[in-house]
């Protein structure tokens, strides 16, 4: 994770590949719409990248990115709830 936080952002693409399918399944189960889940995952990766400097590298990245996806999903549900 330290390499990603440095100037070499190519490593972030590796992280995206590692987590995108798992996160997509999680988001799809959460909001029940695959197309919207793809948007949520994309937005979550953007937020994670922007806030990468604030991530504590002593903690588990997967927990952090799942929490971001969860929060984005919940925000989506609140915004578009019938």
Could you give the angle at the alpha carbon of 54 between the alpha carbons of 3 and 10, nearest 5°?
Answer: 30
| Domain chopping of the chain, boundaries | 2-80
Q: What is the pLDDT of residues 59-81, one digit of tens each?
A: 899 999 999 999 999 999 999 87
CA–CA dist 54, 17 (Å, integer): 22
pLDDT band at 12 (very low <50, low <70, confident <90, very high): confident
Q: What is the pLDDT of residues 22-53, one digit of tens each?
A: 999 999 999 999 999 999 999 999 999 999 88
Q: Helix 61-80 vs helix 34-50: angle between axes, to the nearest 10 degrees? A: 130
pTM value?
0.85
CA–CA dist 29, 69 (Å, integer): 12
Q: Which CATH number fits domain 2-80: 1.10.1740.10, 1.20.120.450, 3.30.2010.20, 3.30.420.40?
A: 1.10.1740.10
CA–CA dist 8, 46 (Å, integer): 16
Say which residues have a Cβ less than 8 Å from residue 52's Cβ, sequence separation at least 6.
Answer: 4, 5, 12
């Amino acid at each position: 994770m330290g390499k990603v936080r440095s100037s070499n952002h190519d490593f972030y693409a590796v992280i995206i590949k590692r987590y995108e399918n798992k996160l997509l399944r999680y988001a799809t189960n959460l909001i029940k719409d695959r197309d919207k889940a793809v948007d949520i995952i994309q937005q979550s990766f953007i937020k994670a990248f922007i806030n990468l400097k604030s991530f504590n590298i002593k903690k588990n990245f997967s927990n952090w990115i799942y929490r971001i996806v969860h929060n984005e999903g919940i925000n989506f549900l609140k915004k578009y709830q019938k």
